[in-house]
A = this chain, B = another copy of it.
Amino acid sequence: MSIQGKNYIGYALSAANTKTFQSYVPAQNIHLPETFHPATPDEVEDAMVKAEAAFDVYAALPASQRADFLVAITEEMMAIGDELLERAQLETGLPMGRLQGERARTINQLTQFADLIREGSWVDAKVDTALPHRTPAPRPDLRKMLVPIGPIVIFGSSNFPFAYSIAGVDTAPALAAGNPVILKAHPAHPGVSDLTAQAIGKAAHRTGMPDGVFSMLYDDGYEVGTALVKHPYTKAVGFTGSFKGGMALYKMAMERDEPIPVFSEMGSVNPVVILPDTMAAQSQSLAQTLAGSVTLGAGQFCTNPGLVFTVQSAALEGFEKSYAEEIKKVASATMLTEGIQSNFIKLRDKALAESGVEVMAMSDVESEGQNQSQASIARVSGKTFMQNPNLHEEVFGPFSLLIVCENIEELQNALAHVPGQLTCSLMAQENEAAQYPHLIRLLARRAGRFIMNGVPTGVEVCPSMHHGGPFPSTTDSRFTSVGRDAILRFVRPQSSQDWPDSLLPEELKTATR
């Protein structure tokens, strides 16, 4: 399959811009030959007009046909074969095993949404039949279900070339629900985006989807994203990335004549609290598990544990020693982009230079390749942590801060300075945890997912997963980006009153219930 480098505007290819950019290979610090054309304002308009026109047709298709489309995407992605993985590896520097796993997860997500809409009960149909003889007033026939809302703009993310990009956690549910998707490809992996867009295009053709059900546009700047979010046809936005980027899109969407929902998944420091009995009983295994979680994927996960809280205790010294040894052993790894790598070094060094912060360990093992991370952990007192807001911020990459408090009360006070999070973890024995209901409430109020005796990395794709925490970890804690409930972001309920069966959607007809 060859990379086109052109914008996919429904079924048409377009490259009106004379300006181009190229893929960067972070491990080699080189650029690949193919050129990519950022979309022009006219191309943005064309994609939106096609999406709006496609909406009526696509939303009215039987769910089984939309499910066929999703399954066809998985087939076309797999048909590309190793070329897709190899291009992803070049563009992201991520290891092959991780990319294979991420592709499998992406295929799984698409398949799960195909199954969900084939089964159909997700639309949450509710029926109250008429009571024509009720007094004082008769009741009309009322039926309610979830309906799609219109064109959805999705931003590919840098850290997941498959699972949070072209055919990922936002696209799959948006398409499943019956909405057209306009994707802004992330400039860090345009080639893998291009190949995936071709797979979606082939799948759409093969299953007879309307022109405009999917478009993908390039940009290595902010113009295309801005134009898409501001476009009057856009009805919702999905984004995963930095706090700054997510909030810029959010504010833009709120300032429209018609404000629209923005689902920004932004930073999270995923606090882990270790209680003293557990520290005493498991200091070795805690050190290993934590070090593994801090450094997984070069720390480039939104669930990376950036803050670890504990109290002074006899076992602490042994834990610190083991934790430091584990971190030293972790080989450095190529980070996703030059910018992410330099930003990691800058923010880590800034944190380490803050008054009262002691370096505990840095990775000793250097790997081959450019743009390397270097896992690092540091230690600070509860008092210093509370006094210095700079220490509350996320350092994206393999860095974590151990906050050692005088006692549980100080730990609770320190936690009160921590805002909303995707996850919070409590490392505690069952009877030990039961002694601290206030601590549990403090963590629970901050957590989208609340974990006992586990690290935050590893996000299961299943119905009971909630991946979305209170602000600032996301802009809307009521919705998840992972699991089947992710579809709820791209629909609204609608009541139908007194419609005859012949004009009701299938899901609400008396005849088919």
CA distance A70 to B324 in the complex (A): 55
CA distance A231 to B441 in the complex (A): 21
Chain B residues within an 8 Å CB radius of A440: 503
B150, B447, B485: which contacts A445 (Cβ < 8 A)? B150
- Interchain CB contact under 8 A, B449 and A258: no
Smallest CB separation, A459 vs chain B (Å): 10
Decide: A498 near B462, CB < 8 A? Known: A419-B258, A471-B258, A503-B433: no
**Interface set, chain A 472-491, CB cutoff 8 A to B:** 472, 475-478, 480, 485, 488, 491
Nearest first, the 4 A-B pairs at minimum CB distance are A466-B495, A449-B495, A144-B464, A126-B464
CA distance A259 to B259 in the complex (A): 14
**Interface set, chain A 441-481, CB cutoff 8 A to B:** 441, 444-445, 447-454, 458, 460, 462-466, 468, 470-472, 475-478, 480
Query: Quick one: closest B residue to A463, CB to CB?
Result: B126
Q: Is A502 interfacial (CB 8 A cutoff)?
A: yes
- Interchain CB contact under 8 A, B419 and A454: no
Query: Quick one: closest B residue to A476, CB to CB?
Result: B261
Chain B residues within an 8 Å CB radius of A259: 250, 471, 475
Chain B residues within an 8 Å CB radius of A496: 449-450, 452
- Interchain CB contact under 8 A, A503 and B449: no
Q: Is A406 interfacial (CB 8 A cutoff)?
A: no
Chain B residues within an 8 Å CB radius of A143: 464
Q: Is A16 interfacial (CB 8 A cutoff)?
A: no
- Interchain CB contact under 8 A, B250 and A144: no
**Interface set, chain A 60-107, CB cutoff 8 A to B:** 60, 101
Q: Is A346 interfacial (CB 8 A cutoff)?
A: no
- Interchain CB contact under 8 A, A498 and B150: no
Chain B residues within an 8 Å CB radius of A438: 56
B254, B441, B493: which contacts A478 (Cβ < 8 A)? B493
CA distance A495 to B460 in the complex (A): 11
**Interface set, chain A 371-399, CB cutoff 8 A to B:** none
B142, B147, B466: which contacts A144 (Cβ < 8 A)? B466
- Interchain CB contact under 8 A, B502 and A465: no
Decide: A128 near B503, CB < 8 A? Known: A142-B465, A250-B259, A448-B494: no
Query: What are 8 sample pairs from A and B whose C-beta atoms fall under 8 A apart?
Result: A56-B441, A140-B451, A144-B465, A147-B444, A430-B503, A449-B494, A452-B497, A466-B494
Number of A residues whose C-beta is below 8 Å from B? 71
CA distance A366 to B452 in the complex (A): 70
Q: Is A139 interfacial (CB 8 A cutoff)?
A: yes
B142, B434, B500: which contacts A503 (Cβ < 8 A)? B434
Question: For A250, A497, A498, which residue has the most chain B Cβ atoms within 10 angstroms?
Answer: A497
CA distance A476 to B434 in the complex (A): 39
Q: Is A314 interfacial (CB 8 A cutoff)?
A: no
B147, B464, B480, B485: which contacts A127 (Cβ < 8 A)? B464
CA distance A260 to B101 in the complex (A): 36
Q: Is A1 interfacial (CB 8 A cutoff)?
A: no
Smallest CB separation, A17 vs chain B (Å): 32
Chain B residues within an 8 Å CB radius of A441: 56, 60
CA distance A472 to B257 in the complex (A): 9
Query: Quick one: closest B residue to A438, CB to CB?
Result: B56
Q: Is A492 interfacial (CB 8 A cutoff)?
A: yes
Q: Is A511 interfacial (CB 8 A cutoff)?
A: no
Smallest CB separation, A262 vs chain B (Å): 10
- Interchain CB contact under 8 A, B462 and A139: yes
B128, B478, B499: which contacts A463 (Cβ < 8 A)? B128
- Known contacts A454-B497, A477-B492, A480-B493; can you find 20 more A-B pairs with CB under 8 A? A60-B441, A128-B462, A139-B462, A143-B464, A149-B477, A254-B254, A258-B420, A258-B471, A261-B478, A430-B502, A448-B494, A448-B495, A449-B494, A449-B497, A452-B496, A452-B498, A452-B500, A466-B493, A470-B492, A478-B488
Chain B residues within an 8 Å CB radius of A251: 254
Query: Quick one: closest B residue to A447, CB to CB?
Result: B494
- Interchain CB contact under 8 A, A142 and B464: yes
CA distance A250 to B255 in the complex (A): 11
- Interchain CB contact under 8 A, B434 and A139: no
CA distance A296 to B135 in the complex (A): 18
B450, B494, B503: which contacts A499 (Cβ < 8 A)? B450
Smallest CB separation, A49 vs chain B (Å): 14
